[in-house]
């Protein structure tokens, strides 16, 4: 059914969406991670500093999710309709979590008693991260889709594998958040962030290995992929992730400030590329491939001119904002 050009366009969009998702996961990942780490503190000043490290950037980070949603909706309407329908509970949980943490920034700043909004921020972050992990686990597990309609039940997404993936995402985001705090803070807060980074790093890698062993055993489509002709090419990714983890441990020992964050991003990027490569050409295993799910070529080209061309510009001005607000945060406040 798919002509050469159309298949190529669909693959471009698969790649572009993977890139947008990767940007979201890394950027909002450390954002949500900082949120979860705030749950461990009751010191108002510390909490204020942690939130201040996100003040000028959280909205931009979250916007990558909005962009991902819109682009997925336009480029792969079949996936958008069926997957979100099937993941009703995790998606709604994510929305409620993100809502609480979004309003917490400004409400906390204005409130005299800040505890309520501290909790809204922390638990909202945790709920959103958990829900994203559950959604990811459910997609890897495969979804019941027949004739373009989701046919499973409201809780079909739940299972031990999904739960393990969710734990991996929560701990991975915490790793990113802790490494980000090492960059942005000083003193006791930075020391605490180092400790959290160390043990969430180990936890993330342990869960990641567990998931990597479990998936080929459990899902035939992954087994076929990993043991197929792409084996050697795919092997690069766990090797890169492994090296990045060793470098991450080394940078923590050396009290580097920026390096742990960079290496945890590399771990994430390698895992996500591995995930996209393992799923390819499926978008929703075991039935829906990206070729079937893609919108017609005309739409894909039009979206590509609109969004694809803007992507580098978006990266530039988002990067500029990070540059303007670079440096350590030593005072609390929404800023």
Residues between 101 and 120 that touch other proteins (CB under 8 A): 102-103, 105-107, 109-111
Touching other proteins, residues 225-244 (CB under 8 A) = none
Q: Which of 6, 7, 19, 74 binds other proteins (CB under 8 A)?
A: 74
Q: Which of 8, 199, 255, 302 binds other proteins (CB under 8 A)?
A: 302
DSSP class of residue 327? Answer: S
Per rule CB under 8 A, is residue 92 in the interface with other proteins? Answer: yes
Q: Which of 7, 11, 77, 287 binds other proteins (CB under 8 A)?
A: 77
Go through 132-156 and write b for each residue having 16 or more CB atoms within 10 A of its CB, e for each that does not: bbbbbbbbbbbbebeeeebebeeeb
Candidate segments 146-154, 170-178, 215-223, 231-239, binder of other proteins by CB under 8 A: 146-154
Cα 4 from chain centroid?
Answer: 32
Distance separating alpha carbons of residues 174 and 106, to the nearest angstrom: 23
Candidate segments 1-9, 30-38, 95-103, 232-240, binder of other proteins by CB under 8 A: 95-103
Please tell me whether residue 229 adopts helix, strand or coil conformation.
coil
Touching other proteins, residues 151-210 (CB under 8 A) = 151, 154
Distance separating alpha carbons of residues 278 and 224, to the nearest angstrom: 10
Q: Which of 7, 39, 84, 203 binds other proteins (CB under 8 A)?
A: 84
Per rule CB under 8 A, is residue 323 in the interface with other proteins? Answer: yes
How many positions of this chain bind other proteins (CB under 8 A)? 76
β 288-289/282-284 pair status: antiparallel
Q: Which two tokens stand for residue 125?
A: 């972050």
Per rule CB under 8 A, is residue 277 in the interface with other proteins? Answer: no
Distance separating alpha carbons of residues 335 and 322, to the nearest angstrom: 13
Q: Calculate the alpha carbon distances from 280 to 54, 63, 287, 291 in Å.
A: 34, 25, 12, 10
Nearer of residues 41 and 299 to other proteins, judged by Cβ: 299
Per rule CB under 8 A, is residue 297 in the interface with other proteins? Answer: no
How far apart are CB 104 and other proteins at their closest, in Å? 8
How many other C-beta atoms lie within 10 A of the C-beta of residue 59?
Answer: 12
Q: Which of 8, 96, 199, 255 binds other proteins (CB under 8 A)?
A: 96
Q: Are 168 and 208 in contact, with CB atoms under 8 Å apart?
A: yes
Nearer of residues 252 and 332 to other proteins, judged by Cβ: 332
Touching other proteins, residues 31-70 (CB under 8 A) = 52, 55-57, 59-60, 62-63, 65-67, 69-70
Cα 212 from chain centroid?
Answer: 18
Per rule CB under 8 A, is residue 255 in the interface with other proteins? Answer: no
């Amino acid at each position: 059914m798919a002509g050469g050009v159309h298949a190529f366009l669909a693959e471009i969009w698969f790649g572009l969406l993977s890139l947008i998702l990767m940007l979201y996961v890394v950027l909002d990942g450390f954002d949500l991670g900082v949120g979860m780490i705030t749950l461990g503190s009751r010191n108002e000043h510390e909490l204020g500093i942690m939130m201040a490290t996100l003040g000028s950037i959280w909205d931009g980070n979250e916007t990558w999710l909005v962009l991902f949603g819109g682009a997925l909706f336009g480029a792969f309407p079949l996936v958008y309709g069926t997957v979100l329908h099937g993941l009703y509970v995790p998606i709604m949980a994510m929305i409620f979590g993100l809502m609480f943490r979004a309003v917490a920034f400004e409400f906390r700043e204005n409130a005299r008693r800040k505890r309520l909004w501290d909790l809204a921020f922390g638990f909202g972050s945790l709920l959103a991260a958990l829900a994203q992990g559950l959604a990811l686990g459910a997609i890897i597990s495969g979804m019941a889709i027949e004739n373009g309609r989701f046919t499973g039940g409201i809780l079909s997404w739940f299972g031990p594998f999904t739960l393990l993936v969710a734990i991996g995402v929560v701990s991975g985001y915490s790793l990113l958040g802790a490494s980000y705090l090492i960059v942005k803070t000083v003193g006791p807060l930075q020391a605490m962030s180092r400790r959290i980074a160390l043990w969430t790093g180990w936890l993330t890698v342990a869960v990641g290995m567990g998931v990597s062993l479990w998936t080929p055993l459990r899902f035939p489509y992954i087994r076929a992929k990993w043991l197929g002709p792409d084996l050697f090419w795919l092997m690069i990714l766990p090797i890169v992730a492994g090296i990045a983890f060793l470098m991450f441990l080394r940078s923590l020992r050396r009290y580097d400030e920026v390096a742990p964050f960079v290496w945890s991003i590399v771990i994430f990027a390698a895992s996500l590329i591995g995930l996209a490569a393992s799923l390819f050409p499926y978008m929703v295993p075991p039935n829906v491939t990206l070729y079937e799910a893609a919108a017609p070529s005309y739409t894909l080209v039009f979206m590509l001119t609109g969004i694809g061309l803007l992507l580098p510009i978006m990266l530039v001005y988002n990067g500029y904002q990070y540059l303007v607000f670079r440096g350590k945060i030593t005072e609390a406040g929404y800023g």
